[in-house]
Structure 1
Amino acid sequence: MRIFTALAIILLTASTARADMDQARQAYAGGRWLEAAVQAELSGGAEGYAYAARALVTQLVLEPETPDRQAVTRQAVNLAEAAYREDNDSAEARLRLAISLGYQGRYTSTMRALFLRVPQRGRALLESVVMDDPGNVWALGTLGAWNLEVARRGGSRGMEMLGASVEAGTGFYSQAIALDPDNPALRYFLALGLIALGDRDRTAMAWEQIEIALELEPRDAFEAGLLANAAQLHALRDDREAATAWAVERMTQ
């Protein structure tokens, strides 16, 4: 009897977790990021915690007015760390931890981040995902973002210290875009990273990607939000300084 009771509890828990994840995905698709995070965290496990971290970072990216952004970022990192502890073989847990750590880096000085080896850990996590799954477009794209952010924050010295380059950044993004050409997010983030560098030689590629992205149909609320951002950025095309400032603000807030 006890065996059947225990089995019933296990099945009920699993069923509840699946229901929570279904609700989390529905909330995410509808742009209700905080609700998605709460439902996913209730689901628990590596999948739930990783999805909750994803939802919180999405909220930070698309809602600049989010109050206490540093606290939300810390929560995203904590959830991603919990996912990683639950299952460090999970590609999604490693990806979301790398992305959450990268976002936390916005509120950490360059020297402290290097001392804590935050960028090194993020890159190692992303490279491990790509090693296991060479077609993971988000890991490839985030490696691209990692290289461009090192270039922006660290300049030539930072790139030399960490083995990063603008060419590697655009190369990783190009691989991701080739695998998922209808993904406007990859094109937007590539353009954002290039424009934030303030390098005249890179702007042609950036604006080309923005224009292609704006021709694409969003597949969910996340992509719709990013396309709205892309339209704001595109409106600044004829004012290089304003476009650079806008991009830097988006990269640092």
Structure 2
Amino acid sequence: MAARSVLLILLLALPILPARASEGIGAARDAYARGRFEDAAELARLLGTSEGNALAARAELAEGDYLAPPSERRARFEQAEKDARAAIALDPRNPEGHLCLALALGFLGRLDGVVTAHFAGYADEAREHIDQALQLAPTDPWANALLGGWNLEIVHEGGLLGQAIYGASIEKGIAAYTYALTLDAGNAAIAYQYALQLVALGGAWRRAEARQVLSGVLDAEPADASGRFAHQRAERLKRALDTQDERDLRAILADQFGADTRKADRATGWPR
């Protein structure tokens, strides 16, 4: 009788658990949409699911990229890496987990510099997870954007040697980014990263292309806080390109590609 009672209780509980999990992920997504990235990460992580850990990783990446002072970015990106690995461990077929891990490794690579990143294996592992995400979701805009970013970052940081080692190229990067924006034409975050990398590579025609890319997304209304932050960055970069403000362009590049130091905090106005 006792065994039957326990079984009955478990059976009655089964429909409740998914509902609670659904409510939890909903609260985390709402926090993310409102720009409360730390809260979103904590709420999502508590769910103990692949979806929750992937959202926690995405929130940590947003906090580190958009809100954290430079001296705190590393901790955010390292936590995002942990969350993304947890998401993949729970469900290897979750493309979001692979994308977030590739992003986290990319951000850490920017902080560490090309030599350290190479010996740490960031580029190789990031590419493996980008390829995994593309296999699982070939028309995902972010998966294709990350492929484009991977190629342009290798060329920017490693030059001809990087191209020879990793097989990256500007042509592959541009093609992947172009396809990503075909899939999601109003995505300011993708357009900004593409334009930023074009400017970093140098050359008048790349600046002209960057301006055109940014012009194509600035009329779109951001869907959430993350989109608004990306939109603001795109506006600033476009303005600097339009006015040929070399000082501001250098500041933008230094902030996005610079090292994680207290000096960088002061240069960007932190603490606020």
Q: TM-score, normalised by structure 2?
A: 0.86
Distance in 1, matches of 2:85 and 2:252, equals 31
| 2:134–2:140 Cα contact (<8 Å) kept | yes
| Partner SS, residue 92 of structure 2 | coil
Deviation by residue 1:136-177 (Cα, 9 ceiling, x = unmatched): 110000111111111121112112211111111111000011
Aligned equivalent of 2:186, options 182, 188, 193: 182
Aligned equivalent of 2:219, options 191, 208, 215: 215
Higher relative contact order (CA 8 A, sep 6+): 2
Which residue of structure 2 lines up, in the alignment, with residue 243 of structure 1?
A: 249
**Alpha-carbon offset, residue 16 of structure 1:** 2.5
Distance in 2, matches of 1:10 and 1:116, equals 44
Distance in 1, matches of 2:171 and 2:251, equals 22
| Partner SS, residue 235 of structure 1 | helix
Any stretches of 5+ residues in structure 1 without a counterpart? none
Q: Which amino acid aligns with 1:32?
A: R
Distance in 2, matches of 1:225 and 1:4, equals 50
Any stretches of 5+ residues in structure 2 without a counterpart? 260-272
Aligned equivalent of 1:49, options 53, 61, 74: 53
Which residue of structure 2 lines up, in the alignment, with residue 18 of structure 1?
A: 22
Q: Which amino acid aligns with 1:249?
A: D
| 1:77–1:104 Cα contact (<8 Å) kept | no
Q: TM-score, normalised by structure 1?
A: 0.93
After superposition, residues 4-15 of structure 1 pair within 5 angstroms as: 4-15=8-19
Q: Percent identity?
A: 32
Which residue of structure 2 lines up, in the alignment, with residue 127 of structure 1?
A: 131
* Structure with bigger gyration radius: 2
CA RMSD between the two structures: 1.8
**Alpha-carbon offset, residue 129 of structure 1:** 1.7
Work out whether 1:93 is the aligned partner of 2:113: no
| 1:30–1:220 Cα contact (<8 Å) kept | yes
